[in-house]
Amino acid sequence: MLKLRLNNLLAHQSCAITVITPTFKRLDALAEAIASVRAQEFQDWEHLIVADGHDPDVERLVSSYADKRLVYISTKPFHCSGNHQRNVALAASKAKYVYFLDDDNILYPHALGAMLAGFEAPDVDYVVGPSEMDDHSVLSPSPNFALGEIDTLNFMIRRKACGEVGGWRRIYFADFLLIDSIRKRHKGKHLDIRPVGIHR
Q: What pLDDT score was predicted for residue 67?
A: 95
> Partners of 133 in the beta sheet?
199
Q: How far apart are CA 128 and CA 183, in angstroms?
A: 11
* Domains of the chain by residue range: 5-199
- Assign 13 a pLDDT band (cuts: 50, 70, 90): low
Confidence (pTM): 0.92
- Assign 5 a pLDDT band (cuts: 50, 70, 90): very low
Q: How far apart are CA 21 and CA 18, in angstroms?
A: 10
pLDDT at 118 over 80: yes
Pick the CATH number of 5-199 from 1.10.10.10, 1.20.210.10, 3.40.50.300, 3.90.550.10: 3.90.550.10
pLDDT at 79 over 80: no
Mean pLDDT along residues 57-62 = 96
Q: What pLDDT score was predicted for residue 14?
A: 86
For Cα atoms 43, 54, 82, give the angle at the middle one, nearest 5 degrees: 65
Q: What pLDDT score was predicted for residue 172?
A: 82
Higher pLDDT, 170 or 110: 110
Give me the chain's average pLDDT, please: 91
